[in-house]
């Protein structure tokens, strides 16, 4: 076996499961579907786009002639205050409840084709400040979990190319956050230390996967990465949600996020498709017995493992829940660091 090959299991401390690193499979023959490169430049306005300024959405409502961020209630919500009453479960084993909650859409910019990575610094700051405000507002409305995410690119099935994210407010903690909370709580009870602080410390001590460590945020490709070029943006001061961040910390996040996405869009010579998510603690959690054990963070999960080659969640990931990463996280971090930013 080549000494440069990384072929091993790595423990994911947040999800408490193994990730298989199989760098020897990265160059395997591929005759399946390819992901065609997406255009970097596009129209500033699309008369058929229901997210562009001034256009009428399918609900019949007209968008204002907005000039920066525009946030509105989703016209096709997965969760809603007006959801149908839950049906009676057919067996005591089963449970049901109303699909209550709130779903919002947040357009980053009026320009139809401007990616999040292409926003100016002050525009990126507006985005993260809006995330914090939305978190605060929806939490105050009584929802348990605020989850912010962006589906970017055709590979991940984005429904509209106009740059935007979605904000879901749930009456319960979503599964990924619940898993992380249980792991953070267990770690704190065992060590009296924050799991996130210890992850940052481990990444700093190793150094090979570090991408940025300044202005209140630490960015790295995690040792336990499940996706190609995966990144975590973790605050150096633990906070349960972005609503707790200071103006300086939000400014730092905006800068770290812009640089991270710029590197991602250049590392393969074509723009990346990715899922970006903001992980935050649910409102009722707040761990009275372990204050500060959980921290919010921004997670970027790309879906291109090589130029035009998509990372598919196939049988072993979808059916078994066992993730395979076809490259060593250290190699992907090195490639991201080598990107020259203009």
- Residues marked as catalytic: 164
d(CA 235, CA 239): 8
The DSSP secondary structure of 189-239, one letter per residue, reads: HHHSS-HHHHHHHHHHHH-TTEEEEETTEEEE--TT--STT-EEEEESS--
Query: Cβ distance 18 to 9 under 8 Å?
Result: yes
Six-digit token string for 160: 């509209």
Closest CA to 272 of 153, 156, 160: 153
Give how far the C-alpha of residue 2 lies from the chain's centroid of Cα atoms, to the nearest Å. 34
Maximum CA extent, the chain = 62
Strands (E), 42-131: 70-73, 102-107
Six-digit token string for 228: 């190609």
- What is the rounded (10 degree) CA torsion for 106, 253, 293, 187? 100
- The strand order across the sheet containing 323-325 reads 7-12, 17-22, 323-325
d(CA 286, CA 293): 9
d(CA 18, CA 8): 10
Three-state helix/strand/coil letters over 108-176: CCCCCCCCHHHCCHHHHHHHHHHHHHHHHHHHHCCCCEEEEEEEECHHHCCCCCCCEEEEEEECCCCHH
Six-digit token string for 104: 């919002």
């Amino acid at each position: 076996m080549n000494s440069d090959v990384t072929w091993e299991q790595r423990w994911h401390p947040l999800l408490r499961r193994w990730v298989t690193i199989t760098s020897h499979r990265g160059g395997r023959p591929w005759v399946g579907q390819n992901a065609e490169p997406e255009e970097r430049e596009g129209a500033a306005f699309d008369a058929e786009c229901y997210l562009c300024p001034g256009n009428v959405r399918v609900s019949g409502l007209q968008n204002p002639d907005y000039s920066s961020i525009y946030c509105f209630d989703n016209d096709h919500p997965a969760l809603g205050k007006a959801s149908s009453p839950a049906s009676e479960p057919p067996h005591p084993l089963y449970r049901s409840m109303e699909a209550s909650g709130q779903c919002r859409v947040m357009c980053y910019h009026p320009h139809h084709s401007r990616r999040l990575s292409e926003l100016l610094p002050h525009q990126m700051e507006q985005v993260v400040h809006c995330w914090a405000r939305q978190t605060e507002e929806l939490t105050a409305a009584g929802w348990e979990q605020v989850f912010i995410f962006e589906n970017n690119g055709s590979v991940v099935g984005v429904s509209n190319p106009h740059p935007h994210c979605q904000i879901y407010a749930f009456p319960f903690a979503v599964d990924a956050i619940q898993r992380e909370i249980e792991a953070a709580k267990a770690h704190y009870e065992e060590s009296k230390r924050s799991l996130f602080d210890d992850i940052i410390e481990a990444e700093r001590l190793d150094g090979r996967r570090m991408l940025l460590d300044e202005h209140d945020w630490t960015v790295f490709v995690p040792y336990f990465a499940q996706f190609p070029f995966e990144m975590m943006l973790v605050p150096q001061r633990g906070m349960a949600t972005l609503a707790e961040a200071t103006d300086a910390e939000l400014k730092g996040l905006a800068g770290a996020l812009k640089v991270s996405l710029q590197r991602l869009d250049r590392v393969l010579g074509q723009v990346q498709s990715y899922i970006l998510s903001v992980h935050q603690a649910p409102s009722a959690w707040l761990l009275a017995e372990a204050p500060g054990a959980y921290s919010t963070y921004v997670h970027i999960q790309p879906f291109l493992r090589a130029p035009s080659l998509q990372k598919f969640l196939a049988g072993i990931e979808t059916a078994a829940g066992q993730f395979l990463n076809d490259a060593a996280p250290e190699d992907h971090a090195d490639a991201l660091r080598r990107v020259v930013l203009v």
